[in-house]
């Protein structure tokens, strides 16, 4: 349906397309037509905004370099001791659900009732508050409801966060991402490679040594796992020789530690301890 360029036609198209051939300018009036000290969005205003944005961006980059994004240890569904914690902007909901009358038998109120009411009201605000007045100090009901909800959210978030800190304290827990950072720093200071929790554990050196049986009968493996990769609180023992010497290991086995490693002084003879410690000291990642 080529229209050609018949000037008698009302609408003239470009070629056979639906694009109207333009003869008059259809460019809208520019901003100078508006009164007051308004200015063009592009490029004047946007350029200024961009300059502020760039400063903010640099600050943001400094923050990301100063505080690397946290990463804990790989998810372990069998870990029963982990204290669950949602991201900070969900804490007010999380805390709300801990109060009686909105949990247990009344949990409907906590999961659907209160949030539904709050977010429903927020969603439909323009249809609930239909007055013409826009200034907040002339809209006492809307303003005070919003301020109250704000205070409630801030309060709940704070309570939730304090409770989490308290729990960490009583259970003597260091958040995993901090623990990992510390381990990485210690390894770095000791001149060792960064502990990589996702790497394959070092192979067991001389696995058929009688010391392995001895460790089984002495219940070491019950805590440190039969493949010596560790579980729960007890660390893996593969590659332990990188970190501890024969004497240091013997010392730990004999006297235990404050953090859960029992003392074996009265359960194993000095020779047995020496034999196990000697074998463990051979467990080096670099060994063949």
Look up residue 163 and give its two tokens: 């409770």
Q: How far, in Å, CA of 123 to CA of 130, rounded?
A: 14
Using the minimum distance from each CB to other proteins, give the nearer residue, 17 or 219. Answer: 17
Q: Does 84 bind other proteins (CB under 8 A)?
A: yes
**Number of residues located near other proteins, criterion CB under 8 A:** 86
Restricted to residues 86-145, the positions that interact with ligand HEC (CB under 6 A) are: none
User: CA nearest 269: which of 285, 256, 254?
Assistant: 254
Stretch that binds other proteins, among 48-56, 217-225, 248-256, 264-272 (CB under 8 A): 48-56
What angle do helix axes 246-255 and 270-281 make, rounded to 10 degrees?
130
Of the candidate spans 137-145, 217-225, 228-236, 267-275, the one that interacts with other proteins by CB under 8 A turns out to be 137-145
Query: Which residue carries 């720093």 as its tokens?
Result: 185
Q: How far is the CB of 85 from ligand HEC (least distance, A)?
A: 24
Query: Least Å distance between CB 6 and other proteins?
Result: 18
Please state, in angstroms and rounded to a whole number, the distance separating the CA atoms of residues 194 and 187.
6
Under 8 Å between Cβ of 238 and 283: yes
Structure tokens, 230:
């560790």
Question: Binding partner of residue 72 among ligand HEC, other proteins, none, CB under 5 to 8 Å per kind?
Answer: other proteins
| Listed ranges 2-10, 125-133, 169-177, 261-269: which one lies at the site for ligand HEC (CB under 6 A) | 261-269
User: Does residue 223 touch ligand HEC according to CB under 6 A?
Assistant: yes
Q: What does 261 bind: other proteins, ligand HEC, none (CB cut-off 5 to 8 Å by kind)?
A: ligand HEC
12 interacts with other proteins by CB under 8 A: no
Q: How many other C-beta atoms can be found within 10 angstroms of the C-beta atom of residue 208?
A: 8
CB 88 within 8 A of CB 161: yes
Alpha carbon distance 188, 211 (integer Å): 31
- Catalog residues that contact ligand HEC under the rule CB under 6 A: 215, 218-220, 222-224, 233-235, 237, 240, 249, 252-253, 257, 259-262, 264, 276, 280
């Amino acid at each position: 349906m080529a229209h050609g360029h018949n000037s008698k036609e009302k609408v003239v198209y470009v070629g056979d397309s639906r694009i109207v051939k333009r003869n008059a300018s259809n460019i809208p009036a520019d901003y100078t037509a508006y009164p007051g000290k308004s200015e063009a969005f592009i490029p004047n205003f946007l350029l200024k905004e961009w300059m502020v944005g760039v400063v903010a961006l640099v600050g943001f980059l400094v923050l990301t370099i100063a505080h690397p994004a946290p990463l804990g240890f790989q998810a372990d569904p069998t870990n029963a001791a982990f204290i669950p914690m949602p991201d900070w902007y969900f804490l007010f909901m999380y805390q709300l659900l801990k109060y009686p009358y909105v949990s247990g038998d009344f949990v409907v109120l906590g999961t659907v009732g209160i949030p539904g009411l709050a977010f429903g009201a927020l969603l439909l605000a323009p249809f609930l508050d239909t007055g013409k007045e826009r200034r907040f100090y002339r809209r006492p009901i809307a303003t005070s409801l919003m301020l109250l909800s704000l205070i409630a959210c801030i309060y709940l978030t704070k309570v939730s966060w304090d409770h989490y800190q308290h729990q960490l304290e009583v259970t003597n827990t260091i958040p995993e991402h901090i623990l990992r950072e510390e381990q990485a720093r210690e390894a770095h200071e000791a001149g060792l490679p960064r502990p990589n929790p996702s790497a394959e554990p070092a192979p067991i050196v001389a696995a058929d040594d009688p010391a392995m049986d001895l460790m089984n009968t002495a219940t070491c493996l019950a805590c440190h796992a039969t493949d010596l990769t560790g579980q729960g609180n007890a660390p893996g023992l593969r590659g332990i020789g990188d970190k501890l010497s024969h004497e240091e290991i013997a010392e730990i086995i004999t006297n235990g530690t404050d953090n859960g490693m029992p003392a074996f002084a009265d359960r194993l003879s000095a020779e047995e301890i020496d034999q196990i410690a000697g074998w463990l000291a051979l467990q080096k990642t670099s060994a063949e």
